[in-house]
Amino acid sequence: MAGVYRRTDSNDRRRSSSDYYDRRDDRERTSRDIDYRDRTSDRFHRSPRDTSSRRGSYERDEHARSRDRDRERDRERDSERDTKKPSEYSVVSPVERSLSRNSSNAFDQGSRTPSSAASGTSGQRLHASDAKSLAELLTESVHCRMQLHRVEARLKQVKNDLDRTPARPAEFASVDDVLRKDVQAFETTRVKCKQQTEKADNKLQSALETYLKKPQAPSPNSQPGAQSPQIGTFPGLDVRLMELQKSTSTLFNTQLNTEIGKVKESIKNQNDTNGSEVQDLRKNLDEEKRKNQLLEDRLDRLERRLEGMNTGQGMRITAIDEKLEKRISSDEQALQKLRESTEDRFKQLADLGRSVSAPAAEANTSDQVKAAVTEQDGRISALQGQLGPILESIQQLEAKSESQSSEYFATKDANDLVAKVEKLKQMLGDQATITGEHQQKQNSLVEDIFSLQSTVKEQGGKQESLDGIASSLGSVIKEQGQKQESLAADVASLRTITSEWPSEELKQLLGELPPAKDLRALVQDLPMPRDLKRLVEEMPPVQDLRKLVAEVPKMMESQARASPGSSTTLMTEEKVLQILETKVKNVEGILRKAFFTKLGELANGFGKVIDGERDRVKGLEEDLKKLDQKISTLERAVDSDESGQKGVEELSGRLDKRFQEQVAEINAIRGNIAGLGRELETVRGVSKGGLDDVQMQLTHLSDWANNLSTKNWYREVVQQIQAHVPTHVHGQLENVSSRMEAIEKRINDPEGSNKKRKVTNGSPVVINGNH
């Protein structure tokens, strides 16, 4: 029958419905279309193979093998030494062999011995202990050097691997970090190996030096009883030595005086230059304060910006996470609804199968089937329409996330921040150079201060010597003052004596005195001092003369009272009295002359002495004034030096404090910058991890969306129906469809025969228009 629908095999239908996107056949699909849970890649299931551990284990095995080889070699060498005789241990030194051949040393940091040392040790032989120690040191240095070469080669290889790695590897994202950690580990081991090699080389060098500096054994050719020739004596050597000593002492004194003058001039020049340098340093300090203030302000601004950026980025990331969660929740709800709708469709299809299985041959069944098919097509189209905006929203989310990640990693703020951090590093470098210059200036100032202190000490010694001279001059001045006081007392006593004399007697004496010309003539006509001494010696003593002068008036009175005697006796007494009076008058005149001459001489001598003392006192007073002026100038200079030294010390202390404060501030700034860098690295790591998670989820969603296309979904639904719905339903549906076609033909063809025949199921079939 032409209108009967041919039943196809279920296997053929399944084979024809399975296409390129069939999920069950993994061999015909790419890795992108397979779900991430079904993939065989190590990206989502386990961590990548740890290459660094294998490398480390391989290197450890290599180190163990090399160490075992070295130990076996040492054991063999020791066994060979034990088997040898003691006489066989004396071997020629390798240093001697290298020096005899004029070859360079085999080590990088070995010491080169001069030719004299080589000649001095040409006859030496190594003992067993020396040879063993030197061999051990040599093998140790060679072993350390081999380890260093091995580590350097491995470090070079790892650096080359790091340079060859791409910027963003697809399979393993942390390859760069692992290689960097390996590079750091190898660098630390290289530093340790370098230190070990340096220690081994130094030990070997010290051992070789001690061996080469050993005293040489006495030669047999030298005679123990030989005496050195004696040196002869020179007769004029002491005189020459004394002359040389005198000349050297004079030259030393002259050079010392010239150097002292130069030092004084240099001190003056340094005092003048120190003032200008102090002013320059003060200006530099003011500039440094201003620069530090500007740096602090900039750092505060940068910290505020960083805080704002961190808060903004955190808010942005939280908002993106919330949006993604909302979208994912909405997508999950839509998927749940789709699942529920598909389950409803499956139930409706089951109900339709049951209803079709009933042997009802009415025309309403076909209408119901058609209505159900149309409803199913409409619902499938509605589902397709709902899936379209969902896919568009997923693509928009992916584009937004990529744009936000690109904005996050390439924003103007981040670029500005990086540029500012670089500027800060440059400024810190400039600050370090400036602080170095200040430290150099401070060191020069400290040296100047030390020189000033030395000059001040010299000035103090000179001042002490001047104080000793001044103290000695003070004692001399005190002695002169005492002498002056004694002279003044003598003059005052003379004045009192002269003032005690009555003015009348003085006038009489002056009147009785001859004129000045006669006195001068008398003084000139005076006898010789010998005659004067003789006359003075012949004269009676002064007491007898005074008694005689006192008894003269008494005798005169007694003579006047006495009775008159003979003329001869009276004449004799008168003559005696006259003679005595004349003698007494002569004596009185001589005494007066001698007294006045002595008084004049004394007065002249006292006047000269007083004038000399006055002149001397005036000279001493002038000298004292000059000394006072010099001492005052010295005190002023010392005070100025002390004040300058105190000022320099205070300024150096201030500079030290300021330098320490600047060092502390620079360290704090470096710590803040390091903390900012760490925070940036942490933020970058967190953001990178979050973006990797988001990218992972987006890739999963994109894979899921690609696998969940409408065509594939429809085919999978059909395959599911074909797999789970029984096969007799398909036969019933085909029978119903054939019967419907026959009914339609019968309705459309009324001229057909009305023959009837039995069908296998017992229902009457119309043949040619008859039952």
CA 76 to chain centre: 52
670 or 151, higher pLDDT: 151
Residue 711 domain flag: no
pLDDT in the model for residue 363 = 45
Most confident of 1-5, 166-170, 396-400, 401-405: 396-400
Residue 245 domain flag: no
pLDDT in the model for residue 597 = 74
Residues whose CB falls within 8 Å of the CB of residue 753, separated by 6 or more in sequence, listed in order: 767, 768, 769, 770
Per-residue pLDDT band for 101 (boundaries 50, 70, 90) equals very low
- Residue 91 is given by DSSP the state B
pLDDT in the model for residue 703 = 73
- Residue 295 is given by DSSP the state H
490 or 525, higher pLDDT: 490
Per-residue pLDDT band for 5 (boundaries 50, 70, 90) equals very low
Q: Which amino acid is at 233?
A: T
Residue 80 domain flag: yes
CB 3 within 8 A of CB 741: yes
What are the structure tokens assigned to 50, written together?
A: 């740890």
pLDDT in the model for residue 487 = 66
Closest CA to 95 of 130, 64, 143: 130
751 or 30, higher pLDDT: 751
Per-residue pLDDT band for 474 (boundaries 50, 70, 90) equals low
Per-residue pLDDT band for 188 (boundaries 50, 70, 90) equals very high
146 or 685, higher pLDDT: 146
pLDDT tens digits, one per residue of 163-172: 887 665 555 6
What are the structure tokens assigned to 121, written together?
A: 């040790």
Q: Is 755 helix (H, G, I), strand (E, B) or coil?
A: strand
Range of the domain at 103: 52-212
pTM of the predicted model as reported, rounded to 2 decimal places? 0.20
pLDDT in the model for residue 4 = 43
What mean pLDDT do residues 549-574 have?
A: 56
pLDDT in the model for residue 229 = 39
What mean pLDDT do residues 541-559 have?
A: 63
pLDDT in the model for residue 193 = 92
54-83 exposure pattern, b = at least 16 Cβ within 10 A, e = fewer: eeeeeeeeeeeeeeeeeeeeeeeeeeeeee
Least confident of 180-184, 327-331, 563-567: 563-567
Residue 81 domain flag: yes
What mean pLDDT do residues 503-523 have?
A: 60
Does residue 43 surpass a pLDDT of 50? no
337 or 744, higher pLDDT: 744
Does residue 764 surpass a pLDDT of 70? no
What mean pLDDT do residues 557-564 have?
A: 58
Per-residue pLDDT band for 494 (boundaries 50, 70, 90) equals low
What mean pLDDT do residues 609-637 have?
A: 74
pLDDT in the model for residue 189 = 92
CA distance 570 to 579: 14
pLDDT in the model for residue 526 = 53
pLDDT in the model for residue 210 = 82
Least confident of 472-481, 517-526, 692-701: 517-526
pLDDT in the model for residue 296 = 79
The CA distances from residue 171 to 27, 43, 44, 48, 684, in Å, are 22, 7, 10, 9, 21
CA distance 499 to 497: 5
Per-residue pLDDT band for 6 (boundaries 50, 70, 90) equals very low
pLDDT tens digits, one per residue of 358-382: 444 444 555 655 566 566 666 666 6
CA distance 271 to 436: 25
CA distance 622 to 470: 14
Q: Which amino acid is at 557?
A: E
**Rg, Å, the chain Cα set:** 68
Per-residue pLDDT band for 270 (boundaries 50, 70, 90) equals confident
How confident is the prediction for the chain on average, in pLDDT? 66
> Domain tally for the chain?
1
What mean pLDDT do residues 639-664 have?
A: 75
CA distance 664 to 670: 10
Does residue 232 surpass a pLDDT of 50? no
Q: Which residues pair with 770 in a beta bridge?
A: 767
Residues whose CB falls within 8 Å of the CB of residue 387, separated by 6 or more in sequence, listed in order: 708, 710
CB atoms within 10 A of CB 242: 10
pLDDT in the model for residue 569 = 44
pLDDT in the model for residue 192 = 92
Closest CA to 647 of 289, 287, 277, 285: 277
pLDDT in the model for residue 119 = 38
What mean pLDDT do residues 259-277 have?
A: 78
CA distance 681 to 417: 13
